[in-house]
Amino acid sequence: MTDREFLKNEVLTRIDKKLNAFGYNLSKSACDFTKKTDFGWNKYQIVFLIREDGWELKPSLLVRFDVVENLFHQISGFDKKYQKGTPTIGTSIESFKSYLNTKTIFELKNEAQISQVVDGLLELFNSVAVPFLEMFDKLSYIDDKLNSNIEDTSLTGGIFKGTKALIIAKLLKRQDFDKLESAYQSYYENFSNGFYLPEFLRLKELLK
């Protein structure tokens, strides 16, 4: 094991000892901690970015609703082995505007920094991840966040904004579904030169 891999392994192992008590299970290969829910799963993910002298760590939050993803993958073209791993929404803590004055990125260069990095990541789990994941445990709340602003892609990324949002709108039987469908079609016609429009059109047919 290289020095860099030792540092990564030690951080994940120490966090695992704490989060396991909350029902989260570690996947070392994915560098995330997953908790099964009635609707799918929640993840606290640590992104390890290689730097010349060590690592840069960025925590992210992911939420999956199986009912949404199962519909999405009927038209997604994803290989089956990846379909169980897709989130419905996700974001890095770094992107939260309300935490601009909070340390959300960590450097890890040597063994002496491990405890400080672990403490920081656990603090973010308690102060940011827990309330976020509790807030987004209802499809109706996700619907409100996604469909109240067509252009806001902060929770889905640009590629999946319209598909995930329209599926949720259909599941919740929104009265303005037709209006949203039209708006998202226009969105995909203009996004990435229409590259993802065929996928969206397949979804339209599926949801009929």
DSSP-derived secondary structure for 67-133: HHHHHHTTTS---HHHHTT--SEEEEGGG-GGGTTS---EEE-SGGGHHHHHHHHHHHIIIIIHHHH
The CA distance from 165 to 149, in Å, is 10
pLDDT in tens, 27-55: 999 999 999 999 999 999 999 999 999 99
Mean pLDDT of the region 82-87: 96
The tokens describing 116, both together, are: 């400080």
Q: Is the pLDDT of residue 98 over 80?
A: no
Band of residue 10 on the pLDDT scale cut at 50, 70, 90: very high
d(CA 203, CA 24) in angstroms, rounded, equals: 33
SS3 22: helix
For residues 184 and 152, the answer to whether their CB atoms sit within 8 Å is no
Residue 25 contacts residue 33 (beta carbons within 8 Å): yes
Beta-carbon neighbour count of residue 121 at 10 Å? 23
Give the number of residues written for the chain. 208
Which uninterrupted H or E stretch holds 21? none
pLDDT band at 96 (very low <50, low <70, confident <90, very high): confident
Beta strands 32-36 and 54-65 are unpaired
